[in-house]
Structure 1
Amino acid sequence: MSDMHSTEYSFKPKDALLGAQMLFVAFGALVLVPLLTGLDPNVALFTAGAGTLLFQVVTRGKVPVFLASSFAFIAPIIYGVQTWGIPATMCGLFGAGLMYVIISFLVRIYGSEMLHRILPPVVTGPVIMVIGLILAPVAVHMAMGRTGDGSAWLVPNTTAMIIAGISLLTTVFASLLGKGWIKLIPILLGILAGYVASLILDVTGFSAAQQTAFDPGTLQNWTAPALINFGKIAEAPLLAIPNFVFPTWNLEAVLFIVPVAIAPAIEHFGDVLAIGGISGKDYVKDPGIQNTLLGDGLATSLAAALGGPPNTTYSEVSGAVALTRSFNPGIMTWAAITAVLLAFVGKLGAVLATIPVPVMGGIMILLFGAITVIGINTLVRAGNDLMLPRNLAIVAIILVFGIGGMSFDLVIVKLGGIGLAGIVGVVLNLILPCKDCNDETSEIL
């Protein structure tokens, strides 16, 4: 068996190109999170690479996975940045990483079944749904050419809908009809298609004509004759240190964001099982799910300590591993090194900053809808009868609290949104009696 197909760690220069290809597969999703949340994409690249290397140290280089920006935290990051600013939000994300670490030690003591007892699908499913649904208005606003909160126009509506439609359809068809590598990079292809469409609309004069005739109504008008401005790319240095941001203490941000780690922790378990099925090794036993969780948690806290989004295992890269049968974890070391090196290319961040808002909006429509569907599928696969009083109560309260914006002022801190929904779900699951939970009744209704 060649080094590439072996599951044993081997780090050789000849695998550098294959490692760069693995990063290419993850690139679109990796930079999408910082672009949507206002974080620095170069920092995200650095922390993805550094986090993957840290994960490999913790797991003794046994698991062929790549860690990068987690979609599950998009909603809390957007809310946190708008409410408390980036440094305070990083404090909450650092705490989320520590929550992973705590869970890893609980698994070490009580076994992996502990996860299923405390975080069953009836809790994790609706929490994941809340994460997707709470962002739906942001996706629609950006696809229509407005800011995420809908308060101002960035791109005329007609132009925005064309670009968003092209980005969305490209992403959908790439995931449906693509084969081989194409099927693994639908988000990247959607971004490229939207970007090229924007360039064509600028060159043909369509963008300028639409901007001249555009009526913003009562909203602020921040539109411009051109969708893409290359001036910032020319001004950006070729090489630059990423714009690292360090956390500042904020208890409210911690209590809001930390419960979000509930859903990714369960997702992590599934990802480790998946890559084990692909490579034919049981990574739940060796290096152990407790160690993979620990590595993920430490990588997430490291990312937050530098101003990057939380890390998670990437299913796109796992798909590439399956396609190429590249089971050697050393290849992921090369992917991580490539990410760290690209983080210091200043013009790369400038190029990413020129991507028009509707391009992101079109992809977000699919992305946030997909997150919601994952939550629904979590419940469906578990076979939960949602009309049973106990299940109905847990799911209903999580959804309404999360989507409706319920919040509590606890004197020194305000708890609400996804964080409150996650905490309430865990508490209800622990305290609600299960005496009659298998008897279908309608007494709650």
Structure 2
Amino acid sequence: MATHDPHPHAGQLTRLLFIGYVWPEPRSSAASGHVMQLLQCFIEQGWQITFASPATEGPHKADLRSLGIDECSIELNNSSFDTFVSELDPHIVVFDQFMIEEQFGWRVEKQCPGALRILETSDLQSLRHARQAILRDILKADAQGADLTELFKPDHHGLFTRMAASDLAQREIAALYRCDLNLMTSDVEMQLLNERFGVAAQLLHWCPLMLEGSPASTTGFAERAHFLSIGNFRHAPNWDAVLWMKNAVWPLIRKQLPHAQLHVYGAYTPPKATALHNAAQGFLVKDWAEDALQVMAAARVCLAPLRFGAGIKGKLIDAMLCGTPSVTTPIGSEAMQGTLPWPGMIAETAQAIADAAVQLYQNQPSWEQAQRDGWQLLQTRYGYPTHCASLIGRIEQLRNDLPRHRLNNFTGAMLRHHQHKSTQYMAQWIEAKNRLA
């Protein structure tokens, strides 16, 4: 009688293909930082890793080759990818964000149907867009946006109602179903997907930002000065936060601290952001930070008044790492603290945010307690060894039992079938049209 081998892949060199939405720039965004943490975790397993992307390389791209990772540029709507993935024959394919799964998932399915499919979500984009739409509605009724109660209340039913009819949510959640495992940085989003959208827990895995070691010793309260805001300007929630600070929050802080300065850093600074620079008001737009942790460690308080967004916030993780207390909103802190105290303060109005920022800036005991709370939070929820081991364990479990796992995800199998057929016909039509052009 044949026996089941519990470790059918033992001794086999695992080939992993990571298809990136962009080439990772870990110093420009938290999403890229998370990608680099995942790659490091895979490298430590001795896996053969290829990183491919259809994106143009940016100025701050990580040097993947120095890490032993093969790099390959690929094109959208090009059958050459079929040859590439067939020859590579990966055991595991990681899609970076759902749009990449839409573009390349059916080709992977056609060439390597037995490959484990993993989606790195970064955040739930349809949730972020739903919150942005709620904010727009609030601002239409009141341009000052003084009452943000509806925006900040934890109403999963209301969010589901707004998200469910959207094209974006239907596309994104279909991609989740088509994959064997979906990496979520936010356990709140996992709850929303499971309880409201019916996505089975077996398809979801909590994998937040992963940090190694303990925070380095940092400068104390007296050696620090100024407020700091940091974040990629291409990310809509960051730009909205900067505008809210400029127009509402910062004037209230300057009323109480007339000589205070806010240093605003961000990758890909557009002219509209540079135009906000005003030295007389202490509002200083500083462009891209060569070393984000260095500028964070020099600031006394980090401001992150996010009015919409999703996932967890890399800037707030960096603040904890540098021992810098932060002031944010319920959306900024969402899914980040669990049951532990926030390392700073959480507020919902411009006045409350300003008052909290001033209190932290002036009160050394409160500031030092917030710093300790941040280090405790990092240690409890964001340890690299724990999350890396959990992820690899989950991957190996799925590889050893993939047929049964997929049998239990009939919706995913159905969606993969229809995606394969429809996109195959579309690709054939595009290629035929190109030949005739």
In the superposition, the TM-score normalised over structure 1's length comes to 0.25
Structure with the largest fraction of helix: 1
